[in-house]
Structure 1
């Protein structure tokens, strides 16, 4: 898996704005919550010519809700994920975007991940938007 960090020329290393993994760009690289029971967005951008299925996982499903959990990201397009954090103590958590290649004829991303787990096909661990911080 190839990863690179994207930042504006006027940003320092602690203000990194995005992460690129296997051609997919993730904005922002880090989420911080000052208020609980609020939502933030993560954008995945696919500048490649390939279609991918995406599955989202996080370290605490009781604390976070991410929608959509399964989706496709088309070539040269982007997808917005809504991340809700519910009331709890301050923690550092992670969100993980898993990708697998998808054909134009595929219509259910959930099935692609079920098949890959059953067949031991390679599913790419794409990125941890780490940390999800309650501050």
Structure 2
């Protein structure tokens, strides 16, 4: 029998595989691959392309957030990722001061028929986040 660790703050389990009856989404982090895991830019700006692959057997809704929306633009902001599908994430940066920023990829299981933006309107969901460091080299 496998030991399942639970924290006092959350009833989520730490195993990688979803157990029967589990309704949490903590297993999604291991089911999604993002490559490359960091984005590099110059202070003059630039473009970085990343692949997001859903290796699970369920549909995922994703939402992209950023710590500085004035310097960075991302496409797509919302997306549905089918099982074993790869989507391309484009991160654009305009000229600006070099500082530490991050991009967040929020994910939830989604079996509905609507779009990804509607999936994140539910307040009872707790999305899983993968953080991507946005590294800027000073000129």
Q: TM > 0.5 between the two?
A: yes
Q: How does 1:25-40 map to 2 (within 5 A)?
A: 25-34=33-42, 36-40=44-48
- Give the RMSD, CA atoms, in angstroms: 1.8
TM-score, structure 2 normalization: 0.74
Q: Matched residue pairs, number? A: 112
> Which residue in the other structure is 1:6 paired with?
none
Mapped to 2, the partners of 1:38 and 1:81 lie a distance apart of 14
Bigger proportion of residues as helix: 1
Bigger proportion of residues as strand: 1
> Which residue in the other structure is 1:112 paired with?
119
Deviations 1:109-134 (A, max 9, x none): 0011012x2xx22222x21012x011
Asked whether the 8 Å contact 2:62–2:81 carries over to 1, the reply is yes
CA spacing shift, 1:81–1:58, aligned 2, 3 Å: same
Larger-Rg structure: 2
Deviation of 1:68 (Å): 0.5
Uncovered stretches (5+) of structure 2, i.e. residues with no partner: 1-11, 15-27
Uncovered stretches (5+) of structure 1, i.e. residues with no partner: 3-19
Deviation of 1:22 (Å): 3.1
Match of 2:131 among 128, 131, 135: 128
TM-score, structure 1 normalization: 0.76
